[in-house]
Amino acid sequence: MKSNHKILCPVDFSDCSLNAIEFAARIGELYQSQLTLVHVVNSEDYFKLFPGETDSKKQEQFIKTKLENLKVAVVEESIPKGLATCDTLIIQGRIVDTVCGIAEDGNYDLIVIGTDGVNGNRSGKMGSRASQIVDNSEKDVLVIPRASYFKEMEKIAYAQDYLEEDKIAIQKVGDVANFFKSTLDVVHFERKINERNRFLNSEMQEELKPFSRNLELNFKLFPIEDSLVESIQDYCENEKVGILFTLSFPQTVWDRLFDRSLSKKLAFSLSTPLWVIKSF
């Protein structure tokens, strides 16, 4: 496991960003991470947070105090459990560009972000700035849906697409599953399940086992009924998946999942945290 692991968590004080902080802190306990809570100052968001307020210094002090209070809560809860540090950052700029820039320049390993709230904007792929960060970031992104709250994870799933990179990705997924004492499903979504699919799935089972961190893998083929989004959602809900992992490489599940024609329904229906692996 990498030393000096770093997590960046954008905060806009909405319920969904507070949920994201809890996920970030718990993942940070696993990786003994340095966690940064960042608030990007944006005039549009200030008008929503402070309707009718004109005193910018008062606004800034309010933000600083709230962010510091969140830091104190994280330190008290997660430092004793393994989180290395927690600090805060307030910076002015465009939210998507600024968050991606900080993650890249600061050599962060993971961005944890909620999908809705003050920053909600239902245009574009997932219907929020979170999806734009996924598009633009070179770092892993863990997207926390607005209705998702941290709880014990009995099951974690990895959506595989028969790629060589799956062998590396499954090691990262296995670390998380082991930490949370979760079972791990390796699932492939297919419109038509036939003998060829079953053969490929069987071949991949043998290839992935040596990379599984001694964790038992449950390989599954899941049919796409109406749409890929609905099928993934049905699978996650029926199997009570805590986090769904996928790769962000061309022609993978990620690309089909976030096709623009599917994005609007996904923005409203996705209720399972999604970890997009973008680097190893």
- The whole-number average pLDDT for the span 154-183 is 89
Q: Is 6-144 a CATH 3.40.50.620 domain?
A: yes
pLDDT value of position 268: 45
Query: Which of 22-26, 140-144, 223-227 has the lowest average pLDDT?
Result: 223-227
Judge whether 37 and 141 are in contact, CB under 8 Å.
Answer: no
Sheet architecture: strand order including 217-223: 85-92, 34-41, 6-10, 110-114, 140-144, 274-277, 243-247, 155-159, 183-190, 217-223
User: How far separated are the first and last CA of the chain, in Å rounded?
Assistant: 11
The tokens of 106 are what?
A: 């600061």
Return all residues near 208 (Cβ < 8 A) that are at least 6 apart.
160, 166, 167, 170, 186, 217
Average pLDDT taken over every residue of the chain: 82
Q: Read off the pLDDT band of 195 (50, 70, 90).
A: confident
Same fold, 6-144 and 155-277: yes
Pick the CATH number of 155-277 from 3.40.50.620, 3.40.50.300, 1.10.3720.10, 3.30.420.610: 3.40.50.620
262 vs 193 pLDDT, higher one: 193
| Residue 82 pLDDT level (bands cut at 50, 70, 90) | very high
Beta-sheet pairing, 140-144 with 274-277:
antiparallel
C-alpha pair distances (Å), 206 with each of 42, 51, 164, 217, 280: 50, 59, 13, 11, 22
Task: Give the per-residue pLDDT at 6.
Answer: 97
What are the extents of the domains in the chain? 6-144, 155-277
Residue 241 tokens read as: 């998946």
Average of per-residue pLDDT across 190-218: 84
pLDDT by residue (tens digit) across 214-237? 788 899 998 888 778 788 889 999
pLDDT for res 228? 80
Task: Read off the pLDDT band of 126 (50, 70, 90).
Answer: very low
